[in-house]
Structure 1
């Protein structure tokens, strides 16, 4: 609760929280909020590329589909991808970081060197390479992003475990005979949780942006999926006349990524006051 109060006292972090909560509500109630949910996947060539109006507030795309409905439905897809990718990355990276941070020796060093190799290659390039090996689609994008994001969690948890393993409470637990799994899971991991939460929040924003870019490049979501990156890609050949076609999906990407980044900064400041932004 104290961390939440710190976030709410920070206007920038509060804005990020509101953006994320708004997007989450839109994703949950997307089928009921979309004006034309049943027609968002069908072609309506007689109404293609209509500008924003009372009937179509965001206009229509090259196949006559309501852009507002597709943006709303795309919110659920974007958040699903972000949560899935970050969740799988945590399942891989957190145990690797815990084990490598607690142990010494060649096995621990080898794991962290593998992690460094993944971190040295730009995530987008690695995701594109993995995506090319599999059939294009949303699942492909999720697998590629999961396999390229886990090293960030491994490195974060490794650093926290290294810091905590020399703490007095860890020595006391070892002195009373507590097992290593108990120390790691019941004491070290909860103390590392704030850093993991910050990494997860920022990672969701980065994952949404990267997934949209994969869709834009044809490796991610495939038609007729209401993917924001795919919509921007399809709109290129209709610019500048149909300006509304890429604008609203692009703004959706901008605001959701911005929300996660601002919230992540706020969580970081709340978790570690030493990193708090200076105020004038």
Structure 2
């Protein structure tokens, strides 16, 4: 069992464990300062793993009752809004990437039969330990852009997705307003990848320019099709949501 932290503490500090208790059914109840946690104890991390019992009950009622779907909004909208706020506020590309993934997940909920895909968790701490002396100065904090786990991707390996912009391989010069190649910075990211792979993670790096091309599409349907095609190209056609009619369904207004 492994615990991942995600979110933003609100300051440049490491999250702290506030309390740890065990429920009567054997589950661990953990609370951390400024961030949330998800326990990796099964083959998938799904959206419903990130909400409380009350929201799960609302989801079950909504998904199984057509009247509920007509009268009430999608039960996971608040979750999507919160996770969207955890994305890098300085990166419109990362926020767009998350939004497009959410729009595909929402369409899965409206398909027949309804489906719900894996969660795309933003701003995840993958190298956090409760005791500071257990952390390597060279390895902390290793906050990654996104984390995903699904049985159809890399045989169920926990997958890290990094959106690479110029800062991953270059330094910005304020005086000249331009970037210059930064070999040491690039080497640091290579070492980070090696460390994560040794821990058993699957690391996927996506160029920011590829996502910008999708962002620049003229309409929502085309963006959605291009994103879905790009996603399946990156992950070798391992589609995880069935029965989605991209041509006929346009509910992207539900996106955060």
Fold shared, TM-score > 0.5 on shorter chain: no
Under a length normalisation based on structure 2, what TM-score does the superposition of the two structures give? Answer: 0.29
- The answer to which structure has the higher helix fraction is 1
Q: Which structure dedicates a bigger proportion of its chain to strand?
A: 2
Larger Rg: 1
